[in-house]
């Protein structure tokens, strides 16, 4: 399976149902709807299409509504205009644009002489000369170019006086709550308070369980990174605006710092902007773009994001297939494994869940488990398990289908919806079924099961439980007498006569057996005694031979003589079939 997830922006090239299905098949985990383009009503229709596709496929497909936020953009125009180098241009709040006077969605009168105004991700650069009494900002064009419709405007280091939540955002937040969006991405957050304001507004509209993804787009947000990460449910490294707001040479290290901070806190992080940008028109990415994706994966990002590549590109499905191949290739490398082992964060002081999740990671490695199963109502336990980047798949079981979709963003997690479990036995049964159904485990594999159910389960004294379990059907359980494991055919014996027992058999003694074995004891591979106790004659024999034994077990009539069983003398369990073979193959 692929650990790092893929977020795809849907747009005119990809928002029909067939293409959404194709993107999901190619590897899309989260569909992003960019509120900077299109209408709220159209996005509601697209969400319904995504939900329909999610119902049809096995892997979860989540929806993210990305707020436009208090962005400053140039006016909407029909045809591009040419802005000449060394010319003078005035910026004002308006709806028209000429080479001499450019209308903006918001006033930038907070600028001062000497400030820089960047248009279209810095492709056009201007230097402020003065601010007129009417609020127009007059600037000299340092580097000109062609300016299209509704291009972004950046003023590095200048705080523009605009509300965090715009009237347009209000409509999108209502939509997110009404349509049960899985995530809302908040644009242009400056600090933790901005994240809380978005969450509070969602709660007002009935979307209190919609996670907020904080987009790091401003230099000020980088300075307040720690608080933002603590407040947010996820973080997006929006490198496009960061590359305009901050010195370009700083962005790679800022990206690494953000990813590392998020991984250390167990907060999902998305690396975004221009990852395979050339594939908007080309059928192949550049080598530099492939390296860019690979480095983000090596850094430990939870997800990589495609923007224009899938929204307006010529080959949206092909782009996702390419991204998927790059990620998978990186994740099979020795360098990736080495990096993952070297960057395991410490568990937070006082966090039992983090301590157990970290233990699950190393326990799975040390015992050769094939899968970690995280049983989680809210998704919290599963996200904490992913935080420690185990070397085996993380299968998350949850009774909440919405949580299943939200876990689609978390590194290495394969979410599965299961029925609510009222006891530990059902929890384990669900864990085994989920691991096998997803292909993460096969019958006989060892699983590490981490239960984070909030309701106290019958038979447990804690809401967080770590168990080692075998992915196999249990035939019977009893008292462990002699440790060890063996897989062999079983043969019942009423009188202890071994002459009729094939060599290398598990001998099952009936409840009325009260004698001694006759014949060659070396024929015995293990003993199952229907009578309870640990000190009788069969136990003495088992200890002398060094073969596993379980007492107090009567095999069901459905188990015929000659059936291969696995006897686990350490746990006191009898399993159907040979569950040791997978461990031998490893």
> What tens digit of pLDDT does each residue of 349-397 get?
988 889 999 999 999 999 999 999 999 889 999 999 999 999 999 999 9
Residue whose C-alpha is closest to residue 153's, from 235, 221, 244, 223 = 244
- Asked if 311 and 293 touch (Cβ cutoff 8 Å), the reply is no
CB atoms within 10 A of CB 366: 9
β-pair type (479-482, 549-551): antiparallel
Q: Is 174 a catalytic residue?
A: no
Torsion of CA 426, 56, 328, 9, to 10 degrees: -120
Give residue-wise pLDDT tens across range 120-132. 988 999 999 999 9
> Which of 21, 73, 383, 384 is labelled catalytic?
73
Q: Region 563-576: what's the mean pLDDT?
A: 92
User: Residue 459: pLDDT above 70?
Assistant: no
328 pLDDT exceeds 50?
yes
Give residue 583's pLDDT band: very low, low, confident or very high (50, 70, 90): low
Torsion sign across C-alpha atoms 280, 283, 284, 290: positive
The pLDDT confidence band at residue 273, using thresholds 50, 70 and 90, is very high
Rg from Cα positions in the chain: 30
Top-ranked range on mean pLDDT: pick from 319-323, 371-375, 396-400: 319-323
pTM more than 0.95: no
Collapse the DSSP code of 400 into the 3-class scheme (helix H, G, I; strand E, B; otherwise coil) and give the result: coil
At residue 534 the predicted structure's pLDDT band, cuts being 50, 70 and 90, is confident
Q: Give me the percent of the chain exceeding a pLDDT of 90.
A: 79
Name the pairing type of β-strands 394-398 and 413-417.
parallel
Cα(358)–Cα(375) distance, rounded to whole angstroms? Answer: 15
Please state, as a whole number, how many other Cβ atoms lie within 10 Å of the Cβ of residue 45. Answer: 10
Mean pLDDT of the chain: 92
> In the predicted model, what is the mean pLDDT of residues 202-215?
97
pLDDT over 70, % of the chain: 97
Using one digit for the tens of pLDDT, what is the confidence trace for 282-300? Answer: 999 999 999 999 999 999 9
Q: Residue 227: what pLDDT?
A: 98
Report d(CA 275, CA 329) in Å as an integer. 16
Residues 6+ apart with CB under 8 A from 544: none
The pLDDT value given to residue 426: 81
Confidence band of 582 (pLDDT split at 50, 70, 90): low
Tokens of 88: 């003078």
Q: DSSP class of residue 523?
A: G
Between CA 202 and CA 21 the distance in angstroms is 29
Across 450-476, average pLDDT: 69
Burial 147-185 (b: 16+ CB within 10 A, else e): bbeebbbbbeeeebebebbbeebeebbbbbbebbbbbbb
- Please tell me the predicted confidence (pLDDT) of residue 458: 45
Please report which helix (H) or strand (E) contains residue 295, including its range. Answer: helix 287-299
Query: Is 215 among the catalytic positions?
Result: yes
Residue 419's Cβ-side half-sphere holds a number of Cα atoms within 13 Å equal to 9
Maximum Cα–Cα distance for the chain, whole Å?
Answer: 110
Tokens 């006016």: give the residue.
75
Q: Which two tokens stand for residue 61?
A: 């497909």
Output the CA torsion 520→524→527→529 (10° steps): -30
Question: Of 532 and 174, which is predicted with more confidence?
Answer: 174
Using an 8 Å Cβ cutoff, are 584 and 479 in contact? no
End-to-end Cα, the chain, rounded Å: 18
Dist CA 539 CA 12 (whole Å): 73
Residue 585 has pLDDT above 70, yes or no: no
pLDDT at 461 over 70: no
* 3 state SS of 123: coil
More confident of the two residues 203 and 581: 203
Task: Pick the more confident residue, 425 or 33.
Answer: 33
pLDDT at 277 over 90: yes
Q: Which residues contact 359 (CB under 8 A, 6 or more apart)?
A: 466
Res. 402: pLDDT tops 60: yes
* Measured distance CA(402)–CA(425) in Å, rounded: 25
Residue 424: phi and psi, rounded to 5, are -65, -35
- Whether 579 shows a pLDDT value over 90: the answer reads no
- Band (460; pLDDT cuts 50, 70, 90): very low
Alpha helices, DSSP H only, in 213-284?
219-223, 225-231, 239-245, 251-265
Q: Can you tell me whether residue 388 is helix, strand or coil?
A: coil
- Tell me the backbone φ, ψ of residue 378, rounded to 5 degrees: -100, -10
pLDDT at 462: 42
The pLDDT value recorded for residue 2 is 94
292 exposure class (CB count in 10 Å sphere: 0-12, 13-18, 19+): buried
**pLDDT confidence tier of residue 337, bands split at 50, 70 and 90:** very high
Residues 74, 166, 273, 381: which is the catalytic one? Answer: 273
Quick one: average pLDDT of 10-21? 98
Please say if the pLDDT value at position 443 is more than 80: no
The two tokens of residue 472 are 């196999």
In terms of Cβ atoms closer than 10 Å to its own Cβ (0-12, 13-18, 19+), residue 372 is buried
**Cα-based angle 303, 304, 305 (whole degrees, multiple of 5):** 120
- Under DSSP, the state recorded for 148 is -
User: Residue 342 burial by CB count (10 A; 0-12/13-18/19+): exposed, middle or buried?
Assistant: exposed
Higher per-residue confidence, 582 vs 208: 208
Q: How far is CA 130 from CA 90, 91, 379, in A?
A: 10, 11, 53
pLDDT tens digits for range 496-514: 999 999 999 999 999 889 8
Q: How far apart are CA 570 and CA 483, in angstroms?
A: 4
Res 90 pLDDT > 50:
yes
Measured CA to CA, the distance from residue 283 to residue 277 in angstroms comes to: 11
The confidence score (pLDDT) of residue 247 equals: 85
Asked about 352 being catalytic, the answer comes back as no
The DSSP code for 250 is G
Residue count of the chain: 586
Report which DSSP code applies to 83: E
Q: Which of 43, 151, 190, 215 is catalytic?
A: 215
Q: In what order do the strands lie in the sheet with 371-375?
A: 413-417, 394-398, 371-375, 446-451, 465-470
Which of 32, 151, 201, 405 is the catalytic position? 32
* Predicted pLDDT of residue 470: 81
Which residue's entry shows tokens 């994240």?
Answer: 195
Six-digit token pair at 96?
């028209």
pLDDT of residue 430: 85
Please report the beta strands in 326-427, taking only residues with DSSP state E, as ranges in sequence order: 371-375, 394-398, 413-417
Is 73 known to be catalytic? Answer: yes
- The pLDDT assigned to 584 comes to 54
Contact 528, 549 (CB under 8 A): yes
Q: Which residues contact 467 (CB under 8 A, 6 or more apart)?
A: 428, 448, 449, 451
């Amino acid at each position: 399976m692929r650990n790092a997830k893929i977020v795809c922006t849907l747009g005119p090239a990809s928002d029909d149902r067939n293409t959404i299905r194709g993107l999901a098949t190619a590897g899309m985990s989260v569909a992003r709807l960019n509120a900077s383009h299109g209408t709220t009503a159209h996005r509601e229709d697209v969400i319904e299409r995504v939900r329909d596709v999610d119902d049809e496929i096995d892997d979860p497909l989540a929806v993210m509504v990305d707020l436009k936020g208090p962005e400053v953009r140039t006016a909407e125009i029909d045809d591009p205009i040419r802005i000449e180098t060394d010319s003078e241009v005035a910026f004002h709040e308006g709806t028209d644009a000429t080479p001499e006077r450019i209308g903006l969605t918001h006033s930038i009168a907070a600028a001062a002489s000497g400030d820089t105004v960047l248009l279209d991700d810095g492709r056009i650069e201007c230097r402020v000369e003065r601010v007129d009494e009417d609020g127009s900002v007059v600037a000299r064009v340092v580097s000109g170019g062609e300016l299209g419709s509704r291009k972004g405007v950046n003023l590095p280091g200048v705080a523009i006086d605009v509300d965090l939540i715009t009237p347009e955002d209000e409509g999108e937040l209502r939509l997110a709550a009404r349509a049960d969006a899985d995530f809302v991405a908040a644009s242009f957050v400056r600090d933790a308070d901005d994240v809380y304001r978005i969450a509070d507004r969602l709660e007002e509209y009935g979307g209190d369980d919609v996670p907020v993804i904080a987009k790091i787009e401003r230099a000020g947000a980088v300075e307040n990174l720690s608080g933002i990460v603590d407040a947010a449910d996820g973080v997006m490294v929006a490198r496009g605006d960061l590359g305009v707001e901050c010195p370009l040479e700083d962005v790679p290290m800022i990206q690494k710092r953000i990813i590392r901070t998020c991984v250390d806190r167990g907060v999902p992080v998305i690396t975004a902007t221009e990852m395979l940008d050339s594939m908007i028109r080309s059928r192949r990415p550049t080598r530099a773009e492939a390296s860019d994706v690979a480095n983000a994966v090596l850094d430990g990002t939870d997800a990589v994001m495609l923007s224009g590549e899938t929204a307006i590109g010529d080959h949206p499905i092909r782009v996702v297939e390419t991204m998927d191949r790059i990620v998978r290739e990186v994740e099979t490398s020795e360098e990736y494994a080495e990096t993952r082992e070297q960057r395991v964060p410490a568990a937070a002081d006082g966090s039992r869940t983090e301590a157990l999740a970290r233990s699950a990671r190393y326990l799975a490695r040390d015992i050769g488990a094939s899968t970690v199963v995280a049983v989680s109502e809210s998704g919290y336990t599963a996200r904490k398990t992913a935080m420690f980047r185990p070397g085996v798949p993380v299968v998350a079981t949850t009774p909440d289908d919405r949580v299943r979709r939200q876990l689609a963003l978390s590194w290495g997690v394969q979410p599965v919806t299961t029925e609510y479990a009222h006891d530990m036995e059902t929890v384990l049964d669900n864990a085994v079924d989920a691991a096998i159904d997803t292909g993460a485990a096969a019958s006989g594999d060892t699983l590490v099961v981490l239960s984070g159910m909030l309701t106290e389960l019958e038979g447990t004294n804690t809401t967080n439980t770590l168990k080692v379990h075998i992915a196999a059907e249990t035939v019977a359980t009893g008292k462990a007498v002699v440790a060890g494991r063996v897989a062999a055919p079983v043969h019942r014996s009423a009188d202890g006569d071994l002459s009729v027992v094939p060599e290398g058999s598990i001998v099952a003694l009936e409840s009325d057996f009260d004698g001694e074995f006759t014949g060659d004891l070396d024929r015995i591979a293990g003993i199952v005694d229907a009578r309870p106790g640990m000190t009788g004659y069969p136990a003495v024999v088992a200890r002398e031979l060094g073969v596993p034994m379980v007492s107090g077990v009567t095999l069901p009539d459905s188990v015929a003589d000659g059936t291969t069983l696995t006897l686990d003398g350490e746990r006191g369990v009898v399993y159907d079939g040979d569950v040791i073979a997978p461990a031998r193959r490893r």
